[in-house]
Every structure is written in C-alpha cells, then in structure tokens.
C-alpha cells in the first residue's frame, strides 16, 4: 500500500531539491538533479538534527517562525516534508472506500507549511485544496512547488492564534498535519484552547466529512492529541480511525500511556541517507493519527467487531507474551504462554501495531484474555 505513495514522493524529489538549492543560493545547474551531493547531505543532516532538537527534544522551536529561516526550511523540505507526505498519504489512503469520491471533495489543509499534506491530497485525486498557514515563506514555497507539479492548490495566510474567522466555506476533508502541537504550546490551558479552536474548525466540516489529524508520536504530543480526541468526542464527534472504543481514551489512564500508529514501509533511499547522516534511529514511521467526523459511518473502521493491536509484543518475567489491544469496550491485554503450540501462534507472534484481530474460545485473565490451544485467532 505505501509503495504507490512513495513513487509519487520520488517524483516530487527533484522539485524539492531544486527549491532547497534555490533558497540556499546554490548553483543548481552544476548539481545532480535527483540527489544530494555528499557535502549537501552533511549540511542538511546537521540542520535536520538542529531542527529535530528544537522541535522534539527541547521543543524551543515550537510555534516559532522556523519556516522563515532558510537552513531550517531546507531541512524541512528535504526531511520533514517527505515524512509528512508519506504520513498524510497513509491517512488519506485509510479513507478506503471513499477514495472514489476524493475527486469531488474539497479539502482544507491547516498549518500547511510548504504543502506536503496538500500535495498528498492532490496526488490522491482531491482537486480542490486550500492550505492555510502563518509563515509567508512557507506559503511561497507551497505555491511554487504546487505550480511546478501542476497542482492547483491555493495557499492563504492565516494565524490560528489571532482568532480571525476561517474562510466562509465548508469542506469535505480537513487535514491538520503536525500543526496543533504548535498552538499555545507553552500554555497550561493549551488543550482547552486547542479544543475550542478545533471546534470552530469542525463547524467548517460538511456533515459527512472527515478530519484527518496527525501529530508526532512523542509521548507528550501523543498524549496531548489523545486529549484532543477526547475533547472532540465530548462535543459529539466520532472517531473513525483507529478507535472502535468511543469513550475517553484508555491509553491516557497510565501516566505514560500512549497510543500511536506506525507505517511499515521501505523509506526511499534519499530519506534513508539523511536519517543515517543525522544519526537518527528510525525504522518505521510512527505518528499519532486520528480520523474523526460528525457521525457513525462504515467504510473506515470496517471490522467493528475486531480489536486493534495498540502496542508492540511484550514479554513478562514468566515468559508470557502479550499485546495491548483495544476494541469496542476499551483496552485490555491478549496474552499467550511463549511456548504455546497452536496454528495461530505464527499470526500472534507477527502482529503489528494497528492490525485488527478477532478471536474466539479464549480464557479470561486478570487484565484481559489469554489464548489456549483451543482458541482461534485471526488477523482481519
């Protein structure tokens, strides 16, 4: 599934490289059009590390106009842009059965930056995309990139903190990628302020439209996003993905609990090279993703009787293997003795976060259910 998004991303790469070089004043004509030179790679990796430190470690750059600094913007274009493009493509792809309608949808991209989510929408068929963004430099880049690839996306200036009205229109899709964590980030009341803003935004969603909200998987931003999810549920909205459970998120109960999505794909070579040069340890793309809307629908969460795997495989001291899973009634564990011999053990041992499973003939255990030789387990 992600492979087709990756090939679209590879087609964008020469344009991303060219924009990076022109914004850094580098002699484009003398450089290879489809890859970074060794020197460029080292510079980009250095800026990516700095930007990553500012965005994720000490979070100094959150809410700052880092998009207006050429070096950081370059790091964004060549590293965070491709990652956001893959993440948003994955989220849009989850609309599954509705993808045939994507062409007729009109979409809003909040905090669009240089446009990865807008271009992902356009690549998957959405023809009417409006991006709203605070940084003028990012707007210029988004417009330039869209023009170069022939995507008729429109970008406008908008500052979410200024309490100005959103465009007087309704949208079938609203996407917000790595945006909410930048709003009121230093305020203790940030969750309430974000929920108030999000509620205003949701008034612009058509009654059967979708909100695709994604944020980093860091524990702090993950938990803040789970709280946004809960805030929307309290205001009458539904989670279409990933939750079957429509109550307060159980992952918020343990102090450091988290719930995020993982994309399992082979990253393109140029991204792997930056990751290596920046000395990051990144195997899969982890992020916090929710698809929400006004009312129950079928089509996204197709397997409503199943449970979603929401952890990786864990082993207890006694050698019992278990995962957290979350279904219509909330979160619990499914476990099996490590040496259990059963046909389904191969499936059990290879479950991945966000897989959906069904099971029968299980035994009740203290914090969940246990598999026995008589049990049935299926990945749906």
Ligand X SMILES: C[S@@+](CC[C@H](N)C(=O)[O-])C[C@H]1O[C@@H](n2cnc3c(N)ncnc32)[C@H](O)[C@@H]1O
Contact set with ligand X (CB under 6 A): 63, 67, 80, 84, 111-113, 116-117, 133-135, 138, 158-161, 177-179, 182-183
Please state the closest distance from residue 84 (CB atom) to ligand X, in A.
3
The interaxial angle of helices 2-23 and 81-93, nearest 10 deg, is: 150
Nearer to ligand X, 212 or 371 (CB): 212
Task: In whole angstroms, give the CA distance from residue 238 to residue 216.
Answer: 21
Please state the closest distance from residue 184 (CB atom) to ligand X, in A.
9
Question: Max alpha carbon distance in the chain (Å)?
Answer: 68
Nearer to ligand X, 142 or 243 (CB): 142
Please state the closest distance from residue 160 (CB atom) to ligand X, in A.
4
Residue 16: which of 159, 116, 131 has the closest Cα?
116
Mapping DSSP to helix (H, G, I), strand (E, B) and coil, where does residue 39 land?
helix
Nearer to ligand X, 110 or 369 (CB): 110
Nearer to ligand X, 197 or 244 (CB): 197
Nearer to ligand X, 194 or 308 (CB): 194
Q: Residue 76: phi, psi to the nearest 5?
A: -65, -45
Please state the closest distance from residue 26 (CB atom) to ligand X, in A.
23
Task: Say if residue 36 is exposed, middle or buried (CB neighbours under 10 Å; 0-12, 13-18, 19+).
Answer: buried
Structure-token match 């709203």, residue found: 132
Under 8 Å between Cβ of 140 and 132: no
Nearer to ligand X, 65 or 314 (CB): 65
Please state the closest distance from residue 378 (CB atom) to ligand X, in A.
35
Structural Rg of the chain based on CA atoms = 21
Please state the closest distance from residue 159 (CB atom) to ligand X, in A.
4
Angstrom distances, CA of residue 142 to CA of 67, 121, 263, 268: 12, 13, 25, 22
Task: In whole angstroms, give the CA distance from residue 267 to residue 279.
Answer: 16
């Amino acid at each position: 599934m992600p492979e087709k998004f990756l090939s679209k991303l590879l087609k964008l790469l020469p344009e991303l490289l060219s924009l990076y070089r022109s914004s850094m004043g580098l002699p484009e004509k003398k450089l290879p059009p489809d890859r970074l030179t060794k020197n460029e790679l080292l510079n980009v990796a250095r800026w990516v590390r700095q930007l990553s430190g500012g965005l994720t470690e000490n979070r100094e750059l959150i809410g700052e106009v880092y998009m207006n600094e050429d070096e950081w913007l370059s790091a964004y274009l060549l590293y965070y842009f491709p990652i956001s493009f893959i993440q948003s493509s994955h989220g849009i792809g989850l609309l599954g059965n509705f993808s045939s309608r994507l062409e007729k949808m009109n979409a809003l991209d909040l905090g669009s930056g240089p446009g990865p989510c807008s271009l992902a929408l356009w690549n998957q068929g959405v023809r009417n995309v409006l991006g709203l963004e605070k940084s003028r430099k990012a707007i210029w880049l988004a417009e330039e990139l869209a023009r170069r690839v022939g995507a008729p996306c429109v970008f406008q200036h908008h500052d979410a903190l200024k309490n100005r009205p959103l465009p007087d229109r309704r949208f079938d899709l609203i996407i917000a990628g790595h945006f909410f964590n930048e709003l009121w980030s230093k305020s203790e009341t940030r969750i309430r302020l974000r929920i108030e803003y999000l509620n205003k935004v949701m008034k612009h969603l058509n009654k059967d439209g979708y909100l695709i909200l994604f944020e980093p998987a860091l524990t702090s931003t993950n938990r803040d996003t789970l709280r946004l999810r809960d805030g929307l549920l309290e205001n009458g909205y539904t989670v279409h993905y990933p939750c079957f459970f429509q109550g307060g998120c159980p992952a918020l109960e343990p102090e450091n609990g988290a719930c995020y999505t993982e994309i399992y794909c082979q990253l393109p070579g140029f991204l792997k090279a930056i990751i290596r040069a920046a000395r990051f340890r990144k195997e899969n793309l982890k992020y916090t993703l929710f698809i929400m809307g006004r009312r129950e629908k079928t089509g996204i969460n197709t397997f409503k009787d199943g449970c979603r795997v929401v952890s990786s495989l864990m082993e207890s001291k006694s050698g019992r293997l278990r995962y957290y899973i979350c279904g219509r009634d909330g979160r619990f564990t499914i476990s099996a003795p490590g040496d259990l011999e059963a046909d389904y053990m191969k499936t059990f041992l290879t479950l991945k976060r966000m897989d959906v499973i069904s099971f029968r003939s299980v035994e009740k255990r203290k914090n969940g259910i246990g598999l026995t030789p008589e049990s049935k387990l299926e990945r749906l």
